[in-house]
Structure 1
Amino acid sequence: MLHYQNLRQLIFRFDPEVAHSVVEFVCALAPKIPALLPFLSKKFCFNDPLLSQEIDGMRFYNPVGLAAGFDKNATMVETLCALGFSHLELGALTPLAQSGNEKPRLWRHTNEESIQNAMGFNNDGANAVSMRLDKCYPFVLPLGINIGKNKLTSQENAIEDYIALAKTFSQNSDYLSVNISSPNTPNLRDLQNEAFIKELFSALCEIYKKPIYLKISPDLSIDSALNLVECAMDFGAKGIIATNTTLDYSLVANPKEKGGISGKVLAPKSREMLKQIALTLKAKKRKATLISVGGIADAKEAYLRIRLGASLVQVFSAMIFKGPSLVKCINRDLKDHLERDGFNHISEAVGVDL
């Protein structure tokens, strides 16, 4: 961590998107350097049976995954695996390649350890990424695909984009994350309604026979969120990813006027949404996989989410502020928390605070 803080000063001199592109280049290059990935794996991977779980037919050797948005185009898969993640959520991907919104569209809120992005689903398109995945799938870790609609696709035809993506990735991914909650594609959040969810999940489950999760916004009212959760599950969703970024600009001192905020300031909103969903599902005796994302920067927060019902957690922004040892630190300290509280396995801690 200490060494990264020195490097971070240099990285933060660059525009955030330029810095990310440099990181992507290095990560894409790393597998070509002999012995580098085994070295990284030895340094950053933490493997303990206490943390290993089988969920929805997938094996996760620890609970910490990478959230969508970091590796949009599956160019960093091997290197990210060597940094200790248990699963990688790639994308968001759209059927057609698109350049995203105008730059600048990515900002750091350094004092708050948070990020604001208005990227707009910039990606290489489903076919290009699918061909990339064909070369490495099946992979040693579960690979999820976060799917969204193209900016120019009308609301009426939105479902066709999601169906096309499910078909494209049916043979080279382990789960789908349905993204109708990004604030950076015009009107996308309007699709967060029960009629669309019903139609969408009914169609997707016909095509895609592996787990499908719904990723929801932290800005929904709790009642609206719970209705969407139940509707998605009624029509085939295996679980919920809570949450996406927020449009609550009061959380940071100097917000931009566009884009969603992620990072430490999102933690209370994301945690509360998880808690309410978990409580409702427990009360109705409904089984669902809950994946918590938003503001998780250390083992303490990850452990809170697990005790509130999350089987898995995902990180993104915290890695920018804390560096590549983040995942190992979370998993190592999580093991300590679990043993301190008398748990023999992580699954025993899931939901105990409900």
Structure 2
Amino acid sequence: MFDYATMKKLMFNFSPENAHHIAEFFFKNGAKYAPFILPLLAERFFVHDKRLEQNLFGCTFLNPLGLGAGFDKNATMIKMLTALGFGYIEYGTITPKPQSGNAKPRLFRFVEEESIQNAMGFNNEGMDVIAKRLESLYPFATPLGANIGKNKVTPSEDALKDYEQLIRQFDRLSDYLVINISSPNTPGLRDLQNEAFIKDLFVMAKSLTNKPVLLKIAPDLTVKDAIDLCSCALENGAAGIVATNTTIDYSLLKNAKDFGGISGKVLREKSFALFEALAKEFFGKTTLISVGGIDSAEEAYRRLKAGASLIQTYTSFIFKGPSVNKEINLGILSRMEHEGFSRIGELIGSDRR
């Protein structure tokens, strides 16, 4: 019914961006015009075991593995992606106004390294179109997160206004929101990773919504700066930290471009190192989500033990297909049994205790 190896061989003949558009076309229209395939796919790929369930942000996560932001920018593929095994979906990044993103080519795959470099630039249809689409979908069977960012043309001094519009719009269409000021692909965006802006941002967010609002940070921060920024966010109302976004450490890839952000296997250790430093500081004080180079049950288990309540994949889904989702969740369960954990809550942060 679903041979990903053959499909990948075919899809990798196309440029990465065209391959993504093809996948989106089939995912969106498959769910719409052939909905009978959704339960068949879910039966094959979705792992639902009570031992993996958690209650976070006021809703139930059936398993801890989510799809990171950037894959479903316009919230067109949520039904199909859930059937393919994700316990939750983070859609976006969404900006107030639609924007086309950066000049092409802007997406590059590195097959041997199982990594991707992207300079997309928050290309999306804009908040009004995406919100209208979500109105017929939300609330959904599994949790949905909204990843939000400012428009490229919005000057830094007006960035708060963009985030205010987005929070007001997606407060009613998501189970949690993620503030994206860590993408390297919008000029000046990472400059907003400073305590003054973060304080103003989360004070404002707290006044606008009761939904959890999280901060997503870059892997290129020093540990001290990351801890200081996260501390500031948490002191001013943040409900959690997502670590990490893509990296601009181009030394990780032999033939890297000198622009955009790198994700995938080569990011694994850099992402984990910063995540663990944050977990040592904040585990037990807030909700931590780990993303960056998670491509196996072993790596997922390491992140959970380190203190992640939830984990996300993106690049490994492209290179390995939905079987990696099932593999990760079943692998977590197998390792839990081996180590004597009866539920995932006992596993999470066990390295911190």
Q: Same fold (TM over 0.5)?
A: yes
Deviation for aligned residue 1:325: 1.6
What is residue 13 of structure 1 aligned with on the other side? 13
Counterparts in 2 of 1:117 and 1:35: CA distance versus 1, 3 Å: same
| Equivalent position SS for 1:326 | helix
Give the whole-Å Cα distance in 1 for the aligned partners of 2:261 and 2:272.
17
Deviation for aligned residue 1:3: 3.4
Task: Please give the per-residue CA displacement for 1:114-170, whole angstroms capped at 9, x wherever unaligned.
Answer: 000000000000000000000111111111000000000000000100000000111
Q: Confirm or deny: 8 A CA contact 2:216 2:241 kept in the other structure.
A: yes
Percent of residue pairs bearing the same amino acid type: 52
- Which residues in structure 2 correspond to 1:103-252 (within 5 Å)? 103-252=104-253
- Which residues in structure 2 correspond to 1:1-354 (within 5 Å)? 3-31=3-31, 32-282=33-283, 287-354=285-352
Q: Confirm or deny: 8 A CA contact 2:42 2:85 kept in the other structure.
A: yes
| Equivalent position SS for 1:111 | coil
Deviation for aligned residue 1:56: 2.3
| Equivalent position SS for 1:65 | strand
Quick one: which amino acid aligns to residue 22 of structure 1?
I
Quick one: which amino acid aligns to residue 248 of structure 1?
D
Deviation for aligned residue 1:333: 0.9
| Equivalent position SS for 1:74 | coil
| Equivalent position SS for 2:177 | strand
Quick one: which amino acid aligns to residue 132 of structure 1?
R
Structure 1: segments with no counterpart, 5+ residues: none
| Equivalent position SS for 2:112 | helix
Give the whole-Å Cα distance in 2 for the aligned partners of 1:221 and 1:170.
32
Query: How many residues are matched?
Result: 351
Choose 6-15 or 237-246, whichever is displaced more: 6-15
TM-score with structure 1 setting the length: 0.97
Task: Please give the per-residue CA displacement for 1:81-132, whole angstroms capped at 9, x wherever unaligned.
Answer: 1111111000000000000000000000111100000000000000000000
Choose 321-330 or 213-222, whichever is displaced more: 321-330
State the 4+ residue runs in structure 1 displaced beyond 4 angstroms: none
| Equivalent position SS for 1:112 | coil
Q: Confirm or deny: 8 A CA contact 2:294 2:316 kept in the other structure.
A: yes
Deviation for aligned residue 1:6: 2.6
Aligned-residue Cα RMSD (Å) equals 1.2
Give the whole-Å Cα distance in 2 for the aligned partners of 1:208 and 1:40.
35
Deviation for aligned residue 1:34: 4.3
Deviation for aligned residue 1:350: 1.0
Counterparts in 2 of 1:175 and 1:2: CA distance versus 1, 3 Å: closer
| Equivalent position SS for 2:3 | helix
Q: Confirm or deny: 8 A CA contact 2:57 2:176 kept in the other structure.
A: no
Deviation for aligned residue 1:336: 0.1
Give the whole-Å Cα distance in 2 for the aligned partners of 1:2 and 1:151.
39
Counterparts in 2 of 1:2 and 1:163: CA distance versus 1, 3 Å: closer
Deviation for aligned residue 1:7: 2.2
Task: Please give the per-residue CA displacement for 1:283-324, whole angstroms capped at 9, x wherever unaligned.
Answer: xxx510000000000110000000000010000000110012
Quick one: which amino acid aligns to residue 87 of structure 1?
Y
Counterparts in 2 of 1:281 and 1:34: CA distance versus 1, 3 Å: closer
Deviation for aligned residue 1:243: 0.2
Give the whole-Å Cα distance in 2 for the aligned partners of 1:149 and 1:133.
20
Quick one: which amino acid aligns to residue 136 of structure 2?
K
Give the whole-Å Cα distance in 2 for the aligned partners of 1:84 and 1:12.
22
Give the whole-Å Cα distance in 1 for the aligned partners of 2:62 and 2:258.
40
| Equivalent position SS for 1:206 | helix
Deviation for aligned residue 1:2: 10
Q: Confirm or deny: 8 A CA contact 2:54 2:61 kept in the other structure.
A: yes
| Equivalent position SS for 1:213 | strand
Counterparts in 2 of 1:111 and 1:280: CA distance versus 1, 3 Å: same
Q: Confirm or deny: 8 A CA contact 2:219 2:245 kept in the other structure.
A: yes
Structure 2: segments with no counterpart, 5+ residues: none
Give the whole-Å Cα distance in 1 for the aligned partners of 2:312 and 2:239.
17
Give the whole-Å Cα distance in 1 for the aligned partners of 2:314 and 2:341.
27
